[in-house]
Amino acid sequence: MPRRLTVGAVVLGFACASPQRESPAPDLAVVRAQIDSVWTKYSAAAVAGDADAIARLYADSAYVVESGLPTIRGNTALRSVVKEVLGGVHFLESSIRPEMTELAGDRVLQFGAYRDVLQSTGKPAEVVVGRYAAVLVRDSTSAWRVSRLIAVADSTVPQIAKSK
């Protein structure tokens, strides 16, 4: 028994004496490019009218607050709301412009602006601009997913205008 204790003490001593190697800090430029890819996929899916592709960009526990919609909790509810919205509106254009991106541990906090050109059947195109705040997290495959999103129409810009 004393021998086991001695071997354990030696192993514990080496473990404590070994310098701790911290993971290198993520490269913010790489993370920004990865998040930009999420928004590019989002815009393409919106224009394509693909609610399932949009929902895949969100975490299972997504929490979304967006102008004109009820608060959305969870990916299943998100998919349902997006399908309903896309059933009545066609995205002619969609663009998202990040303005500030910060790493916070295993999360990314991002603020930015968006511009969508929407058209309902029989109505003129409508330009909607706004601002957003988003929290993105990595999923089990290391892909970034939108966890929290607040998107509000910008009241300082006219909301109805003809498409370019």
Average pLDDT over residues 113-130: 94
* Contact criterion met (CB below 8 Å) for 101 and 132: no
- What's the mean pLDDT when you consider all of the chain? 86
Q: Whole-prediction pTM value? A: 0.79
Partners of 108 in the β-ladder: 103, 136
Alpha carbon distance 68, 138 (integer Å): 28
* Dist CA 158 CA 126 (whole Å): 10
Least confident of 6-20, 28-42, 55-69: 6-20
Query: Which residue has better confidence, 140 or 6?
Result: 140
Handedness of CA 127, 153, 54, 28 (dihedral sign): positive
Residue 62 CB burial class (10 angstroms; 0-12, 13-18, ≥19): buried
User: For position 105, what pLDDT does the model report?
Assistant: 83
Assess whether pLDDT exceeds 60 at residue 7.
no
pLDDT tens digits along 76-97: 999 999 999 999 999 999 999 9
Domain ranges of the chain: 24-153
What are the phi and psi torsion angles at 160 (to 5°)?
-110, 125
Fold of 24-153: Nuclear Transport Factor 2; Chain: A, (3.10.450)
Give how far the C-alpha of residue 64 lies from the chain's centroid of Cα atoms, to the nearest Å: 10
